[in-house]
Amino acid sequence: MALKVKKNKSPEPPIGCDLTECMAMLAGAWAPNVIWHLRAGPRRFNELRIDIPPISAKVLSARLKDLQSRGVVKRQVKPTSPPSVEYQLSELGKELVPALEAIVTVGHKLKERT
């Protein structure tokens, strides 16, 4: 005898909903890590490479460009010799930090269970 499939009672998120939009920003490989390491303030490219050792320069560059195009990260060229570039979170990017902190908190709890 086959089991009856129950309907899901949670409302279906509308297309283009806020959850989907937010998760799209965090979906790229290493994007949460980049946001996490920028939460304390501006960082240069090589500082971020040191902060996130497994990331390659190519992926970090792609992720920074992607986050910048989405308005999460701001890029600022410093008038030094040679010129240097700093990355920092935009106001939108700063709003993602509490969500990442909550994810980290749950991650610690899950880790304790194993």
The residue among 47, 41, 35 whose CA lies nearest residue 97 is 35
Residue 14 domain flag: no
Q: What is the pTM of this model?
A: 0.79
Residue 80 domain flag: yes
| pLDDT confidence bin for 15, thresholds 50/70/90 | low
Query: How high is the pLDDT of residue 2?
Result: 81
Q: What is the pLDDT of residues 22-61, one digit of tens each?
A: 777 777 789 999 999 999 999 999 999 999 999 999 999 9
Q: What is the pLDDT of residues 65-102, one digit of tens each?
A: 999 999 999 999 999 888 899 999 999 999 999 989 99
Give the strand pairing for 43-44 and 73-78.
Answer: unpaired
CA 4, distance to chain mean position in Å, is: 40
The CATH number of whichever domain residue 47 belongs to comes to: 1.10.10.10
Residue 5 domain flag: no
* CA gap 56, 34 in Å, rounded: 12
Residue 9 domain flag: no
Q: Is 42 left (phi over 0), alpha (psi -120 to 50) or beta?
A: beta
* Residue range of the domain that includes 69: 29-113
**Count of structural domains, the chain:** 1
